[in-house]
Amino acid sequence: MTISVQTNASAIIALQNLNKTAGDLQSAQNIISTGLNINNAKDNASVWSIAQKQRADVGALGAVQSSLNRAASIADVAQTAGASISDLLNQVKQKVVAAQDPSLDPTSRAAYNTDFQSLLRQIQDVVNNAVFDGANILDGSLSGNISFLANADATSFVTLSTQDMSLGGSIISIAATATIGTVTAAQGVLSQINTSINSVNSALGDIGAQSREIENHSTFVSKLSDVLNQGIGNLVDADMAKESAQLQALQAQQQLGVQALSIANTAPQIVLQLFK
């Protein structure tokens, strides 16, 4: 090999290798600092694109989960209120049956009627207050059933049916102005109360079944989101043990490269010995 002070081939090669090692070292440090083997499209365009799509789906499933949580809360409030209404109706029936006793004096009958009307007002109060986030499926304020998101594309929905439990409605047929002040009036209300109790219990069964469906679907969405996150991790996450070993190897290579460049840079000085 020609000895030259103009061109130091050994130093050029050593510098190229050192630059390559420095680049690899920076890549390894980026991987370790982010925990990602593929952090952007430059690292691996196709895999990064797949991971980004999956991240979008996970984000959309978060919105689905929020919608289902709202559905579950509305259903829970309705079930709690419905159970209270059912209990109140049982008390109403007790008053209605007692009011049919022909031996009651006017004062006692009036007392039963007062209790009866108080219970009706309580039922209506429960119905009016069965609200969560502005939604009440028991007071007839909604024109139709409520639909909630069921998938990430917003093309599938789960439904929560409205159940109008207002007094004088389709489920509780007893009017708010009903009275049991006479035996005849109490007999007429008894038929309505029996029908209303059955209707309320049936409506609560429907709400309970839909609540279970919402709960099951919410569990599925949560698990699906977890699986997608695991899939994203399989695509882009770095093997930290492997990267740690790689980092230490590159650090050693960098030190050796610096030494090799230093040695190569001293080679032209040999020429000085030829001119002593």
Q: State pLDDT tens for residues 192-251.
A: 999 999 999 999 999 999 999 999 999 999 999 999 999 988 888 777 788 778 878 878
Residues in Cβ contact with 38 at an 8 Å cutoff, skipping those fewer than 6 apart: 44, 47, 48, 51, 235, 236
- 8 class by beta-carbon count within 10 Å (0-12 exposed, 13-18 middle, 19+ buried): middle
Q: What pLDDT shows up at residue 64? A: 96
Q: What pLDDT shows up at residue 201? A: 95
- Residues of the chain with pLDDT > 90, as a percent, come to 61
Give the least confident one: 27-31, 71-75, 78-82, 138-142.
27-31
Would you state the structure tokens that stand for residue 56, as one six-digit string?
């979008």
Q: What is the pTM of this model?
A: 0.78
How is the chain split into domains, by residue range?
9-35+238-274, 69-235
The CATH number of the structural domain formed by 69-235 is 1.20.1330.10
Answer yes or no: are the C-beta atoms of 32 and 247 closer than 8 Å: yes
